[in-house]
Amino acid sequence: MRPLVATIDLAAIRHNYAVAKRCAPGREAFAVVKANAYGHGVREVVGSLPEADGFAVACLEEAAEVRRVNAEARVLLLEGCFEPAEYHSAAQLALDVVVQGAEQAEALLAAQLPGPLNVWLKLDSGMHRLGFAADQLRHWHARLAGATQVAELNLLSHFACADERGHPLTEQQVEAFLDLLDLDFDQRSLANSAAILTIPAAHMDWLRPGIMLYGATPFVDLTAKELGLRPAMCLTAQLIGLRDVAVGESVGYGACWVAQRPSRIGTVSCGYADGYPRHAPSGTPLVVRGQRVPLAGRVSMDMLAVDLTDLPEAQLGDAVELWGAQLPVDELAQACGTIGYELLTKVTARVPRRYRSF
């Protein structure tokens, strides 16, 4: 079997969910499990969080998967229904739905449903991606309140810059949200991970933690460890080749890495077809025998090379941590000019996930 595995620590995810809840006592929380629970496996993650108040997903297909595992919890469709026929399925699955545009709202009012839905009207408070402007939101609040298709009528919005502490847009977004306090909503939701961790004024009734559940940080200047989060995924490969290269010899495609000293090169069983970023530059850290060693040359489809010259005890078969407990995914992401979210969600289907829950 190919020696590459993503080990998922379900106990860490439970711990991180509890951290979110502790940040905002008395509030409820949708665990955000879209994109296959940020790459961690939606069935396993949902199954390991029976205490979660609810789950949030991006589409009906993801919601159906959550429902199969948890018959009771609230399941929120973050972008709402993409076509009118989806409302019927959403009602059958007893979902909560976001309504973020006039077409969605009209389709809801025209729908014949087996039961009423909890509806979350989305305010565009400044991100300008989805949602109603304040005056439109007031209009739709009036039209949807009391409609037979609507059970709870709730308010939701999303931050653009909560991960950049002190960004002026965040305060404007909170103000835009609070400007609608005169409207009668059953529940309100505004906070993603960054706001849960640092903006108590944004906590409202329902939190929406995503990245923090998986033990990564939304911030550039605060590590997951500093936030009390435990990493949930460890991506581990093996040294499957070892060789000495002389000064002036190159390694890998494009012959981009050239030995400046007599060097020992290890070949590692992980490549870009597994989700490791192809654009990771030489020097990006990996961990062998508890020590950081630098990536050497271009990442191949199924393999990459590491410079082991400063780790002479390394042997064929040694485990190589691409990210995890010893090397935070956020650190690799920074080295590659991306974010932990992207690395976690891009671990491909061919990488087996192994689960532990202790």
Ligand X SMILES: Cc1ncc(COP(=O)(O)O)c(C=O)c1O
Q: What is the 3-state secondary structure (H, E, C) of the chain?
A: CCCCEEEEEHHHHHHHHHHHHHHCCCCEEEEECHHHHHHCCHHHHHHCCCCCCEEEECCHHHHHHHHHHCCCCEEEECCCCCCCCHHHHHHHCCCEEEECCHHHHHHHHHCCCCCCEEEEEEECCCCCCCCECHHHHHHHHHHHCCCCCEEEEEEECCCCCCCCCCCHHHHHHHHHHHCCCCCCCCCEECCCHHHHHHCHHHCCCEECCCHHHHCCCCCCCCCCCCCCCCCCEEEEEEEEEEEEECCCCEECHHHCEECCCCEEEEEECCCHHHCCCCCCCCCCEEEECCEEEEECCCCCCCCEEEECCCCCCCCCCCEEEEECCCCCHHHHHHHCCCCHHHHHHCCCCCCCEEEECC
Task: Tell me which stretch binds ligand X (CB under 6 A): 205-213, 288-296, 312-320, 347-355.
Answer: 205-213
Among 211, 224, 227, 332, binds ligand X (CB under 6 A): 211
According to DSSP, the β-strands at 150-156 and 233-245 are: unpaired
Closer residue to ligand X, CB minimum distance, 180 or 202: 202
Active-site option among 17, 214, 225, 253: 253
Task: Tell me which stretch binds ligand X (CB under 6 A): 192-200, 222-230, 243-251, 348-356.
Answer: 192-200
Closer residue to ligand X, CB minimum distance, 231 or 285: 231
253 has catalytic annotation: yes
CB of 211 to ligand X, least distance (A): 4
CB of 79 to ligand X, least distance (A): 8
Residues in the interface with ligand X (CB under 6 A) total 12
Among 67, 188, 208, 298, binds ligand X (CB under 6 A): 208
Task: Tell me which stretch binds ligand X (CB under 6 A): 10-18, 204-212, 257-265, 294-302.
Answer: 204-212
Among 118, 125, 193, 236, binds ligand X (CB under 6 A): 193
CB of 205 to ligand X, least distance (A): 14
Among 10, 52, 57, 78, binds ligand X (CB under 6 A): 78
Count of other CB atoms within 10 angstroms of residue 61: 9
Closer residue to ligand X, CB minimum distance, 303 or 332: 332
Binding residues among 231-250 for ligand X as defined by CB under 6 A: none
Establish if 215 lies at the interface with ligand X (CB under 6 A).
no
355 has catalytic annotation: no
Closer residue to ligand X, CB minimum distance, 37 or 270: 37
Establish if 209 lies at the interface with ligand X (CB under 6 A).
yes
What residues are designated binding site for substrate? 129, 301
Establish if 344 lies at the interface with ligand X (CB under 6 A).
no
* Interface contacts to ligand X, rule CB under 6 A: 32, 78, 158, 192-194, 208-212, 218
Which residues carry out catalysis?
Answer: 34, 253
